[in-house]
Amino acid sequence: RPLPPRRERELADAELAGSASALAEAELRANAMVGTVKSIQLDGEPGRAVCDVAARERVDLIVIRAGGRDQPPIGTRSLGPVGRFVVDHSPCPVLLLRSHA
């Protein structure tokens, strides 16, 4: 059964706050490692949003982790649908990072 609208909004707000916090922490770490990094939080289809922002902001490089939650770290299925979309449609080079298995 559907959630009441107020509860649905509370959950969405909590999720947004959590993702904003994680994004801010990642941006701080990345800036310490490589210099200037800009993070942007958006709603919408993730792969298309990444490519659209990359084109609009004229980014130099997109970095994606291969071997996500449900994907093996290597092989033809190492990219999920978002990563695959970005690799296929990116307006700039894409660097795939592989995690240590």
71 C-beta neighbours (distance < 10 Å), count: 17
The total number of residues shown for the chain amounts to: 101
Residue 99: the pLDDT is 67
Average pLDDT for consecutive 10-residue bins of the chain (101 residues)?
89 87 87 83 89 94 77 69 93 85 53
Name the pTM for this structure.
Answer: 0.67
Same domain flag for 58 and 31: no
Same domain flag for 100 and 51: yes
User: Are residues 86 and 53 in contact, defined by beta-carbon separation less than 8 angstroms?
Assistant: no
Segments forming the whole domain that contains residue 15: 1-35
Rounded Cα distance between 98 and 101, Å, is: 9
Same domain flag for 28 and 47: no
Residue 58: the pLDDT is 94
Residue 17: the pLDDT is 87
Residue 36: the pLDDT is 81
